[in-house]
């Protein structure tokens, strides 16, 4: 059984006297439909202390607006959280010197102005959505829609799930054969937003204005398929980026590729047929790219007329998940294929190689991820379920508490063949833990990527809210967890920033954007990653929408990695 230690409130946290009125006092409406925007940086009030080594730039992205007023006097409602009109946020954490406290500046920008204007005029999203339900008022707008062409500019594309700073292969590369991924000497040259569709949106790193579009085809002419992973993976030493491209057709083809950070050159390591699926992330080890086709299989024919979510077929527990191991260093292509029991996953955590338990002369791959039993969680993320003021939200939260649970799960792919093999091998589950906390949005110390590690940080979904209700630290060795939570405060993804002078894996801080549902405003929270005690916070003067993911670029130390 997993042991959970809860962290007591610190002296700088003010608890509401109404905290016992649990559900009525956890309002989150502003987090799902924020109107707040600061296009010019403003300084935030800081309480407590944010360590100087956390200085740098924290970017966040995710859904912004979820409803709009049309010119016809109707209210256009987005159905699914993943279709929220994206907004990007920038926190500048500034080290003012030993005698002065750390400062924080904040600016943000809605990044779909052109699309918003189109929706106001037509009452339609115009193109494929993730989960938009059919609009009963659509007939009212049919004539209007025919008079306007769908937007094609950067602010007309709703791309905002993950962010990449200085993405290899797009934009200027550093001079020479530098292996430095980024940092003070290289600076923030480019900022791109990504999604699970084959498209990138270029943002101005300072103003956050959308300024360009690109696709994976910009990296290599053969990467023409429509689907990819929002979470590319980056080598922590070289900065090389790895992802896949899925081409749909009678035969669906996966292409696994890498982009050199030093040259910008893209190499396709392997191309192979496979069952098409919605894959939000993948993994890398020191020598391999690990692509798991878990049980979120899609029907490409449905995409022609319905939403992407409609194309995702129910999880069939009789169909195994398939793991593809692709060599990324020696040109061996697809090395091995494994199968494991059926499951679904959004977010992988880490993978590494170690001597095989069965034969020390061979190599095992160990892979950790957040596992769910089925794709049911995707279908639950409609705004009607998430916005606490709506009638179905309370029932949904109870269901999350009892049924829609996730675990941190460790898989082992044993005895990797020394040369490419067509045999189907068996992957095993070593352990699963954390079900009582239902972790999601996992992160870790980026210095341990592709190595055996100990600690995972994640948000929790214990049923106290419709979405995230805490931050956890999980010890993979002891199976123990620590929990930070505050009543009425909805948590965002915790980003780990390592202490460059630290000697332990967990020496650093966590940065997370929190919505205080009782005040209606958000704040940037800084926790000690060792024990989850609060060190400080920077108070925003409005609500920051519940986002997906972020990227921290430090003034010194190790970047957070491309997750």
DSSP 173: P
Instruction: Please give the Cα distance from 235 to 447 (Å, whole number).
Output: 10
Q: What are phi and psi of 82, to 5 degrees?
A: -70, -15
- Which residues, at least 6 apart from 146, have a Cβ–Cβ distance to it below 8 Å? none
The answer to whether 549 is a known ligand-binding residue is yes
Instruction: Please give the Cα distance from 166 to 549 (Å, whole number).
Output: 17
Q: Residues 219, 227: contact at Cβ < 8 Å?
A: no
**Which three-class secondary structure state does DSSP give residue 307?**
coil
The answer to whether 280 is a known ligand-binding residue is yes
Tokens of 317: 């527990």
Largest CA distance in the chain: 71
Classify 535 in phi/psi space as left (phi over 0), alpha (psi -120 to 50) or beta. alpha
Instruction: Please give the Cα distance from 543 to 257 (Å, whole number).
Output: 39
Instruction: Please give the Cα distance from 365 to 483 (Å, whole number).
Output: 30
Q: Is 356 exposed, middle or buried (0-12, 13-18, 19+ CB in 10 A)?
A: middle
Q: Residues 388, 29: contact at Cβ < 8 Å?
A: yes
Residues paired with 481 in a beta bridge: 4, 474
DSSP 311: H
Q: How far is CA 316 from the centre of its chain?
A: 25
Instruction: Please give the Cα distance from 64 to 43 (Å, whole number).
Output: 22
Integer angstrom CA distances of residue 441 from 54, 72, 322, 492: 20, 39, 23, 8
Q: Which of 411, 373, 186, 230 is nearest to 296 (CA)?
A: 373
**Which three-class secondary structure state does DSSP give residue 53?**
helix
Tokens of 33: 């439909």
Q: Is 212 exposed, middle or buried (0-12, 13-18, 19+ CB in 10 A)?
A: middle
Long-range contacts for 425-429 (Cβ within 8 Å, ≥24 apart)?
425/336, 425/337, 425/338, 425/339, 426/338, 426/339, 426/340, 427/323, 427/338, 427/339, 427/340, 428/340, 429/340, 429/341
The answer to whether 149 is a known ligand-binding residue is no
Integer angstrom CA distances of residue 483 from 14, 116, 400, 437: 18, 39, 18, 9
Residue 273's CB: how many other CB atoms inside 10 A?
A: 11
HSE at residue 267, side-chain half, CA atoms within 13 A, is 16
Instruction: Please give the Cα distance from 388 to 23 (Å, whole number).
Output: 8
Q: Which residues are annotated as a binding site?
A: 231, 280, 347, 549
Residue list, annotated binding site for Fe cation: 231, 280, 347, 549
């Amino acid at each position: 059984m997993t042991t959970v230690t809860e962290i007591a409130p610190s002296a700088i946290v003010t608890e509401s006297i109404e905290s016992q009125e649990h559900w009525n006092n956890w309002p989150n409406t502003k987090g799902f439909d924020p109107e707040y925007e600061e296009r010019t940086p403003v300084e935030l009030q800081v309480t407590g202390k944010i360590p100087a080594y956390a200085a740098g730039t924290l970017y966040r992205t995710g859904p912004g607006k979820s409803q709009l007023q049309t010119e016809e006097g109707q209210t256009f409602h987005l159905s699914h959280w993943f279709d929220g009109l994206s907004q990007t946020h920038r926190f500048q954490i500034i080290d003012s010197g030993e005698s002065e406290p750390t400062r924080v500046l904040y600016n943000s920008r809605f990044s779909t102005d052109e699309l918003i204007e189109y929706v106001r005029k037509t009452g339609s999203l115009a193109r494929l959505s993730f989960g938009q339900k059919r609009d009963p008022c659509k007939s009212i707008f049919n004539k209007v829609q025919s008079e306007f062409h769908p937007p094609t500019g950067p602010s007309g594309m709703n791309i905002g799930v993950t962010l990449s700073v200085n993405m290899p292969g797009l934009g200027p590369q550093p001079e020479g054969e530098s292996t430095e991924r980024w940092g003070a000497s290289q600076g923030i040259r480019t900022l791109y937003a990504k999604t699970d569709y084959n498209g990138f949106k270029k943002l101005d790193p300072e103003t956050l204005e959308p300024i360009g579009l690109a696709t994976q085809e910009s990296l290599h002419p053969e990467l023409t398929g429509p689907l990819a992973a929002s979470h590319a993976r980056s080598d922590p030493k070289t900065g090389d980026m790895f992802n896949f491209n899925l081409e749909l057709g009678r035969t669906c083809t996966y292409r696994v590729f890498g982009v050199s950070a030093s040259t910008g050159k893209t190499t396709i390591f392997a191309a192979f047929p496979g069952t098409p699926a919605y894959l939000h992330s993948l993994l890398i080890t020191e020598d391999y790219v690990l692509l798991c086709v878990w049980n979120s299989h899609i029907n490409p024919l449905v995409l022609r007329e319905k939403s992407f979510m409609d194309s995702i077929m129910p999880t069939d527990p009789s169909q195994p998940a398939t793991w593809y191991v692709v060599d990324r260093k020696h040109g061996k292509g697809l090395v091995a294929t494994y199968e494991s029991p059926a499951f679904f996953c959004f977010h992988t955590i880490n993978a590494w190689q170690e001597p095989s338990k069965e034969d020390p002369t061979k190599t095992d791959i160990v892979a950790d991820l957040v596992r769910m039993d089925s794709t049911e969680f995707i279908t639950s993320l409609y705004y009607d379920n998430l916005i606490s003021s709506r009638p179905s939200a309370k029932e949904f939260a109870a269901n999350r508490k009892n049924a829609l649970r996730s675990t941190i799960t460790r898989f082992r792919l044993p005895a990797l063949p020394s040369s490419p093999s067509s045999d189907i091998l068996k992957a095993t589950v070593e352990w699963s833990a954390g079900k009582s906390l239902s972790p999601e949005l996992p992160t870790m110390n980026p210095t341990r990527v592709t190595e055996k590690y100990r600690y995972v940080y994640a948000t929790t979904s214990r049923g106290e809210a419709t979405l995230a209700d805490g931050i956890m630290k999980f010890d993979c060795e002891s199976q123990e967890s620590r929990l930070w939570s505050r009543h009425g405060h909805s948590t965002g993804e915790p980003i780990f920033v390592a202490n460059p002078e630290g000697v332990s894996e967990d020496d650093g801080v966590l940065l997370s954007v929190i919505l205080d549902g009782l005040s209606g405003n958000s704040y940037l929270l800084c926790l000690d990653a060792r024990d989850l005690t609060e060190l400080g916070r920077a108070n925003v003067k409005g609500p920051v929408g519940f986002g997906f993911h972020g990227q921290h670029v430090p003034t010194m130390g190790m970047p957070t990695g491309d997750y």
